[in-house]
């Protein structure tokens, strides 16, 4: 278990560094595949940062006990990736609110081998603009919720990882 033998709050930091990006990615993919909300380019950027956090968190949990710093450095890398996703979420929410200018070009990833095939991919792809809110709760968009949750989680993970064990003597 992540908390076994870890000093201070490092065990909880390890658990959060895995649980938070996994939960936020599960939510994002749930909205996409169950709710039918397709991600825009900036949504993908936020997901990539969470995807980057997962291997760091897993390594911290699996190998941390054998590391000189008990996996703290890997937890920090996971927290920084989560924080990066939150920063992108702030920017995305700002684009949706009209504070920042969003992307000005169309982005499509395709393995099309001809112009006709590429045109078919583009025409069959859903058009999702980064500056339009697809879903919100209490006036906060998905990008805004990702920003709030990711930044709070990353700061909590960093704080927990730096806590010293209490002495009860």
Residue 21 reports pLDDT greater than 50:
yes
- Separation in Å, CA 165 to CA 8, 14, 63, 70, 158: 4, 15, 21, 14, 15
pLDDT digits (tens, 9 = 90+) for 68-116: 778 788 999 999 999 999 898 888 777 776 676 766 555 555 566 677 7
Q: Where are the chain's structural domains? A: 12-101+112-162
Architecture in CATH of 12-101+112-162: Up-down Bundle (1.20)
The mean per-residue pLDDT over the stretch 31-41 comes to 79
Q: What is the pLDDT of residue 135?
A: 62
- pLDDT, tens digit, 9 for 90 and up, residues 121-163: 666 665 666 566 676 558 767 777 788 889 999 999 988 888 7
Structure confidence at residue 15 (pLDDT): 87
- HEC-encoded secondary structure of 60-129: HHHHHHHCCCCCHHHHHHHHHHHHHHHHHHHHHHHHHCCCCCCCCCCCCCCCCCCHHHHHHHHHHCCCCC
CA torsion, ordered 100, 104, 105, 107, to nearest 10 deg:
20
Tell the residue number behind the tokens 């996409």, with chain if given: 32
Q: Which residue has the higher pLDDT, 145 or 33?
A: 33
Residue 57 has a pLDDT of: 93
Higher pLDDT, 60 or 67: 60
Average pLDDT of the residues of the chain: 78
- The model carries a pTM of 0.72
Using CA atoms, how far apart are residues 27 and 31, in angstroms rounded to an integer? 6
For residue 1, name the pLDDT band (cuts at 50, 70, 90).
Answer: very low
Please, which pLDDT band fits residue 37 given cuts at 50, 70 and 90?
confident
Token digits for 37? 């909300």
């Amino acid at each position: 278990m992540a908390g076994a033998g870890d000093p201070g709050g490092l065990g909880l930091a390890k658990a959060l560094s895995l649980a938070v990006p996994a939960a936020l990615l599960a939510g994002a993919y749930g909205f996409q595949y169950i709710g039918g909300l397709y991600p825009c380019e900036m949504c993908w950027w936020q997901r990539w940062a969470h995807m980057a956090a997962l291997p760091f968190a897993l390594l911290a949990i699996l190998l941390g006990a054998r590391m000189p710093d008990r996996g703290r450095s890997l937890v920090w890398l996971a927290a920084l990736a989560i924080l990066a996703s939150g920063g992108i979420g702030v920017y995305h929410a700002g684009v949706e609110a009209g504070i920042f200018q969003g992307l000005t070009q169309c982005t499509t990833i395709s393995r099309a081998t001809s112009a006709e095939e590429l045109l078919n991919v583009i025409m069959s792809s859903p058009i999702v603009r980064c500056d339009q809110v697809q879903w919100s709760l209490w006036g906060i968009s998905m990008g805004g919720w990702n920003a709030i949750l990711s930044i709070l989680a990353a700061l909590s993970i960093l704080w927990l990882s730096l806590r010293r064990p209490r002495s009860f003597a």
